[in-house]
């Protein structure tokens, strides 16, 4: 997975009533098997929607990418409780508390800063985790979690008012590639 994430790409944060989302200007891309996907947005779920070796995490971020034909690739990153996450702090400082509220970001948010130092990932084909839950999404779930403070998770869950995750789905016949 090659990436070319521009540091000034995150330009807007919004509360859509289901999650907190950071939208990106065009230009940040990821390549996978010679195919280019553009980063559109990232958003959060608490607790995590994916598990690693049966373990759930207090928070997960999804970096949503689309190619020119509309095919989606999502990078999932798990957060484990620990030190404050500096990349999240930038977003959380401007987190809209009201549903359907949005604002321009005053600080640069770089998607690269969300990624763990070890870039190994699991890959599988799945679906969107929010309606319409369309199939055909390429998922890349990072094997190594990053840290988030208990206070940062609490801030997110307080603003959202409830859990924001889709329950873990059965694997069915989907192979998970390592």
Contact 111, 10 (CB under 8 A): yes
Cβ contacts of 173 within 8 Å, gap of 6 or more? none
Are 20 and 88 a contacting pair, CB within 8 Å? no
- Whole-angstrom distance, CA of residue 175 vs CA of residue 155: 35
In the DSSP assignment, the letter for residue 52 is B
Residue 35 annotated among the catalytic residues of the structure: no
Short-list 63, 177, 69, CA closest to 113 = 63
Which candidate in 18, 43, 65, 163 is catalytic? 18
Q: Which helix (H) or strand (E) holds 91?
A: helix 86-92
Q: The tokens 């055909």 sit on which residue?
A: 136
Q: Which two tokens stand for residue 48?
A: 């995590």
Q: Which residues are catalytic?
A: 18
């Amino acid at each position: 997975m090659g990436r070319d994430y521009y540091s000034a790409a995150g330009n807007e944060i919004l509360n859509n009533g289901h999650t907190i989302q950071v939208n990106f200007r065009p230009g940040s891309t990821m390549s996978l098997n010679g195919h280019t996907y553009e980063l559109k947005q990232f958003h959060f779920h608490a607790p995590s929607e994916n598990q690693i070796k049966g373990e759930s995490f207090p928070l997960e971020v999804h970096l949503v990418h689309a190619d020119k034909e509309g095919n989606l690739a999502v990078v999932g990153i798990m957060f484990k409780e620990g030190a404050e996450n500096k990349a999240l702090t930038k977003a959380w400082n401007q987190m809209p508390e009201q549903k359907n509220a949005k604002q321009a970001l005053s600080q640069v948010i770089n998607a690269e800063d969300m990624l763990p130092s070890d870039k190994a990932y699991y890959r599988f084909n799945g679906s969107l985790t929010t309606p319409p839950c369309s199939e055909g999404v390429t998922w890349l779930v990072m094997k190594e979690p990053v840290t988030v403070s208990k206070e940062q998770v609490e801030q997110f869950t307080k603003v959202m008012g409830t859990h924001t995750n889709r329950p873990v789905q059965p694997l069915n016949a989907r192979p998970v590639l390592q």
